[in-house]
Chain A
Amino acid sequence: MAIVSRGFHGRRPTAGHRLPPGQYETHDFPVLSAGPTPRVPRDEWTFTVTTETGARHTWDWARFTALPTQEPTVDLHCVTKWSKFGTHWSGVSLDELLADVATAADFALVHCYGGYTTNLPLADLLDGRAWIAHGYDGGDLPAEHGGPARLLVPHLYLWKSAKWVRGIELRTEDEPGFWESAGYHDYGDPWREQRYQGD
């Protein structure tokens, strides 16, 4: 039997949307990060995929933005409890970026300008479920939201959608990232409420 908070009524999400357990809907776009916002000029920005054999595949801004762009509209779920429905992004699918990468790895460790890392299974980056996003809501991606470019993996809690992304390391063994080393879940499925280790 759940513990009821006497006199609490609460709100329900906008009709037509479903909230993962424990989440609430917000209409603004909160910013979360662990340290100062890195300022990365586009002409110095690169994105590198490194495989388990050490092979490197690097894109600079011009090569990256010359790739086919998709415009996903997705819901965001942050482990700090807010969810935002119907956000509009532009970016390059990881399917595109990984198409010519030969790997037998099962895991990815994402690296960012500023030192942030996060880990997830490689499979979650594929099949149209993940992008390197460089635009938000019709404009450039603002630095506080991860610009020039960030990972976007909307089916997992938003800390997996690493801001200021600079590379993805493909690994045969899982390696916990920044928040994952501090007690947060390795996978982070909002629908299974995998917020913390052991959830």
Chain B
Amino acid sequence: MDPGTGAGMAAGTRTRELPLRWRAAELSARRTESRSAETLVLRVPGWPGHLPGQHVDVRLTAEDGYSTQRSYSVASAPDGDRVELTVQRVDDGEVSPYLADVFSPGDLVEVRGPVGGWFVWRPREQAEPVLLVAGGSGIVPLMAMVRVRTALGSRVPFRLLYSVREPADRLYAAELDRGAPGLDTTLLYTRTAPPGAGRAAGRLTPQDLVAWGWPPDFEPAVYVCGPTGFVEAAAAFLVGLGHAPERIRTERFGPTGG
């Protein structure tokens, strides 16, 4: 590693100088993913497509002109003007209770994006195995990677370690249960494991990453997303196991963002 030149840590080349436009986005449907998470299916005319892992800015404007913005990872694979976001309800939040509970089919928000060129999987350029490490709602951008892999029929080997408190907190449960060839998914329950789970409930450990991740010498691309404490721990374990820091990409989902 040579931090002096930033070697190994280049986010990408500059491709865009035009302003990212705000676009109207209409809710066409919603799906309940868990007690606290809703997937919003938006129709965004003119959507330019996205890479899995990228996010959008969402702007909400009240009747009196007050407006605020939040960032949400795209959960879906590119599919025309259809963009899916999964919103975790933060009870005292300003925006997420609205999006999760009030926002109804036919209602509008504005979105712009896609944004972010670092926490992305580029299936046409990356052939190495992929390790996805998700904590809670950190699964969302990683699910977009899983879905793009499936949509493209990619044979890049994927392993997903998905940490949740208990079975009812799982997002995309049916889809992940169905699985896909070459995608190995391991659920890590931190509080309550279901009967028959092969692992006692508990937080992510280095041993979990050894048992269900990729060995460092496979040189996988590693994506870690979750709350700060989870990401800090997982990234430190991965470095400790010998994964090169520049192959570990992180993104945080904090309690803020409400």
Contacts and interface: CB of A to CB of B under 8 A. Distances in A.
Interface of A: 2-12, 22-24, 26, 28, 30-38, 80-82, 111-117, 144, 166-167, 176-179, 181-183, 195-199
B97 to A, nearest CB: 10
A80 B117 CA distance: 14
Given A115-B1, A197-B17, A199-B19, A12 B7 contact: no
A34 B228 contact: no
B231 to A, nearest CB: 8
B256 interface: yes
Interface of B: 1-4, 6-20, 24, 57, 59-63, 65-71, 94-95, 98, 102-104, 107-110, 115-119, 228, 231-232, 235-236, 238-239, 245-246, 248-250, 252, 254-257
Given A4-B108, A24-B68, A36-B250, A198 B9 contact: no
14 contacts: A3-B61, A3-B109, A8-B103, A22-B59, A23-B68, A28-B256, A31-B232, A31-B254, A34-B11, A34-B250, A80-B71, A111-B6, A166-B4, A183-B16
A28 B254 contact: yes
Nearest to A167: B4
A82 B256 contact: yes
B20 A196 contact: yes
B12 A113 contact: no
A129 B217 CA distance: 45
Contacts of A11: 68, 94
B98 A8 contact: yes
A37 B237 CA distance: 11
Given A7-B102, A8-B60, A181 B10 contact: yes
B256 A176 contact: no
A75 to B, nearest CB: 16
